[in-house]
Each structure stands twice: as structure tokens, then as C-alpha cells.
């Protein structure tokens, strides 16, 4: 470690460059080196996934045992997928070949290719997190809901909209986001700078879908249900209970990507942190995307010493409850959430106070 951080709150939250510079200075150099062991462990889980798929699809197990295996398989898919997320940020392997191998095995269950992920997440999202129009994952604004069919659909499946779809959408939301980027967002003028061979990635995605469909057909309805469909559902839910809390309770901006304002982490159970590779430390990931999440707890410690106001961490269950409590559209300035009709509304500042309050959120 190089030296001690500056006194608390000496750098304001809107000075992104200086905060990052100071945090990098006090972090150990190995925090920014690839951590290949994480990738090796993830790849070693792939034969376990295949074995579970074979057991569920071919063995005469009772329904409850199949359901249990489906859940376990869904968690394995999540773990390997999160390792692939790290790899495609260059924090696991030094070479592109191994990154692509882990990217394929990690993201293909959700019909996302490594090329699509690099364009969608690494380029588009991380260059403009929670920026209106430029971030493919940002919630729509009220005026967009009034004029755009896609915004109306996004709102309908988003937690807080009150739609019945919003209460079941976590089971397919991540897969839907990937397809939305590939077929819709990547065509938008504001994302034309994203480097992606759209025709190639679309063809590969169709082939992936056909491959999974053929495997399900070969397994039969029961095997497809327990070995493919339910693990896909469980893994989508596992991802979305994190993803939905990362940005959708915080301010959006017209032009500024500031992870000390627009990105949150969640405090979850230590077992979930172990299984899901510290993915709960999402603000820390946005501060240094190429840093292994292995070092995220240390980064949080230094950030809190540097400026406690810049560290945004919410209890996981409280954040999830608040997602479904607050409206699901941004106002024009991105500093409050509202309904299509404009009432009720709640400011993002109030939401942060609610999340950080020791008392539980109102029902």
C-alpha cells in the first residue's frame, strides 16, 4: 500500500477524477493485476454444470429433487456468468482467448455473446452509467414514456411501475436486456460509436437460441423444464436482485457519469458475497471496472475514510423493497422518480435518506 488516504471528506463527491486518483494511490498495486485463479475456478465449475444438467435431464428423480438441482444449477450459472463479467473487464486473464472462452460459457445461457457483452456493458453502460439516452440500462423518463413504445414496455416490466409484469420480470429481465441492446439500442444514433459487428453478433445469438432449443427438444419437456428453463429463471432472478439496485434508486444525468453519485452497492449476506464473487460491491466496480472485486472491500474502506458521503451502500432487502415502492420513471432532470401521470413522485435524495435510515421503508 502506498500511503494513507487524505482526511475524510477532503475531496467533494463531484470531483470524480481526484477521488479516483487518490483511491488508486492508496490501493495496493496487485489490486489492478489480473486474478487468474478466479477464472480457473469458474471454468472448473462448467463440468459440474454439465453433470447437473445430465442428472436432471436423464435420471428418474422426484420433482422436489429436480427443483433443488435446478436452483443449484441456476446459482452455478450466476457464479460463472459473474466471473465472465470480470474476465471481459480484463481483471481475470491476460489474454483475449481465455477471456472469450469464459465469456462464452458464462454468458451463453442468457443468449449473450462476448461481443454483445463488450458492446452493451463494457462500452455503452460503463461509459455513460445512468446518463439519459446514452446508457441502455437507464430507466426511461416521463416524457419518453409518453412518446416511445419501447419506454412504455421498459416501464411496464420495471419494479415500481405497479404492472403485474413488474412482479415477475426478474425471472427474464437480464436476458431481455441483452436482447434489447442487440436488436434495439445498438441501432440508436447515440450508440453508433459502440464497436460491435451487429450482423455477426445477431447471427451468433440466433445460433445460440437454436442450440439451446435443440438441446431442450432432445431432453424432452421435463428435462428442458428442470435443466434449462428453471435454471435460466433462477439465474435471472439472482442477477437482477443486484442489477436493479445498482442505479435505479439514484439520480440520472444528462451528461455526467459519476459513480460516487449514480451507482450503489448493497450490503448482503456473506454467503451470497462468496457465491456471487462480491458482485454486491457494484459502486466499487464502477470506480475501477478493471479491478478485481476481490479487492472491493478494501476499496470501500478507503473510500469511506476519504469521503463517507461518496460511499453509497444500502441493505439489500431494504433496497429491493424500496425499488417496488418508488415510481419507475425519471423526471426530466433525473433527480426524482414519478408515475406516467406525474404523481406521486419522490426525490432521489429522499430515497437515499430512506435507504440509509435505520428504520425500515414504509410499506
Q: What is the pLDDT of residue 192?
A: 84
Three cell numbers written together for 294: 476481490
Task: Say if residues 152 and 240 touch (Cβ distance below 8 Å).
Answer: no
Q: How far is residue 121's CA from residue 149's CA, in Å, rounded to a whole number?
A: 23
Three cell numbers written together for 206: 440466433
Length of the chain, in residues = 363
Model's pTM, two decimal places? 0.94
Q: How far is residue 307's CA from residue 174's CA, in Å, rounded to a whole number?
A: 33
Residue 130 Ramachandran class (φ > 0 left, ψ -120 to 50 alpha, else beta): left
Strands (E), the chain: 265-267, 313-315, 329-330, 336-338, 345-347
Closest C-alpha to 297, from 308, 281, 275: 281
Q: What is the pLDDT of residue 4?
A: 55
Output the furthest CA–CA distance in the chain (Å, rounded): 64
Task: Say if residues 109 and 235 touch (Cβ distance below 8 Å).
Answer: yes
Task: Say if residues 205 and 116 touch (Cβ distance below 8 Å).
Answer: yes
Q: How much helix, strand and coil, in percent to the nearest 5, is found in the chain?
A: 65, 5, 30
Taking the alpha carbons at both ends of the chain, their separation in whole angstroms is 45
Q: What is the pLDDT along the chain (363 residues), one digit of tens a residue?
A: 455 545 544 788 999 999 999 999 999 999 999 999 999 999 999 999 999 999 999 989 999 999 999 999 999 999 999 999 999 999 999 999 999 999 999 999 999 999 999 999 999 999 999 999 999 999 999 999 999 999 999 999 999 999 999 999 999 999 999 999 999 999 999 998 899 999 999 999 999 999 999 999 999 999 999 999 999 999 999 999 999 999 999 999 999 999 999 999 999 999 999 999 999 999 999 999 999 999 999 999 999 999 999 999 999 999 999 999 999 999 999 999 999 999 889 999 999 999 988 544 443
Three cell numbers written together for 44: 472448473
Amino acid at each position: 500500500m502506498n500511503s494513507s488516504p487524505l482526511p475524510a471528506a477532503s475531496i467533494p463527491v463531484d470531483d470524480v477524477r481526484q477521488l479516483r486518483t487518490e483511491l488508486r494511490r492508496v490501493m495496493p498495486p496487485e489490486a489492478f493485476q489480473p486474478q487468474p485463479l478466479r477464472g480457473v475456478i469458474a471454468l472448473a465449475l462448467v463440468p459440474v454444470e454439465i453433470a447437473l444438467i445430465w442428472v436432471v435431464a436423464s435420471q428418474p428423480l422426484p420433482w422436489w429433487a429436480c427443483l433443488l438441482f435446478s436452483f443449484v444449477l441456476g446459482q452455478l450459472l450466476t457464479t460463472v456468468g459473474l466471473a465472465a463479467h470480470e474476465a471481459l473487464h480484463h481483471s481475470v486473464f491476460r489474454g483475449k482467448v481465455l477471456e472469450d472462452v469464459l465469456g462464452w460459457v458464462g454468458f451463453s445461457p442468457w443468449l449473450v455473446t462476448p461481443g454483445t457483452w463488450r458492446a452493451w456493458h463494457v462500452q455503452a453502460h460503463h461509459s455513460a452509467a445512468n446518463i439519459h439516452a446514452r446508457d441502455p440500462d437507464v430507466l426511461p423518463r416521463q416524457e419518453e414514456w409518453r412518446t416511445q413504445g419501447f419506454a412504455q414496455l421498459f416501464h411496464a416490466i420495471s419494479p415500481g411501475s405497479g404492472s403485474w409484469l413488474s412482479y415477475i420480470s426478474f425471472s427474464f429481465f437480464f436476458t431481455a436486456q441483452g436482447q434489447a441492446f442487440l436488436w434495439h439500442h445498438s441501432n440508436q444514433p447515440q450508440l453508433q460509436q459502440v464497436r460491435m459487428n451487429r450482423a455477426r453478433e445477431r447471427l451468433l445469438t440466433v445460433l445460440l437460441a437454436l442450440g439451446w432449443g435443440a438441446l431442450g427438444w432432445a431432453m424432452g419437456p421435463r428435462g428442458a423444464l428442470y435443466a434449462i428453463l428453471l435454471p435460466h429463471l433462477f439465474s435471472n432472478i439472482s442477477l437482477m436482485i443486484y442489477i436493479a439496485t445498482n442505479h435505479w434508486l439514484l439520480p440520472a444525468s444528462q451528461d455526467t457519469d459519476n459513480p460516487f453519485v449514480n451507482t450503489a452497492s448493497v450490503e448482503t449476506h456473506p454467503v451470497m458475497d462468496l457465491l456471487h464473487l462480491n458482485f454486491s460491491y457494484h459502486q466499487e466496480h464502477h470506480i475501477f471496472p478493471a479491478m478485481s472485486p476481490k479487492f472491493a472491500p478494501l476499496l470501500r474502506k478507503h473510500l469511506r475514510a476519504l469521503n463517507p458521503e461518496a460511499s453509497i451502500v444500502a441493505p439489500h432487502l431494504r433496497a429491493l423493497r424500496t425499488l417496488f415502492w418508488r415510481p419507475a420513471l425519471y423526471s426530466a432532470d433525473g433527480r426524482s422518480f414519478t408515475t406516467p401521470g406525474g404523481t406521486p413522485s419522490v426525490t432521489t435524495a429522499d430515497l437515499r435518506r430512506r435507504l440509509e435510515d435505520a428504520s425500515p421503508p414504509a410499506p
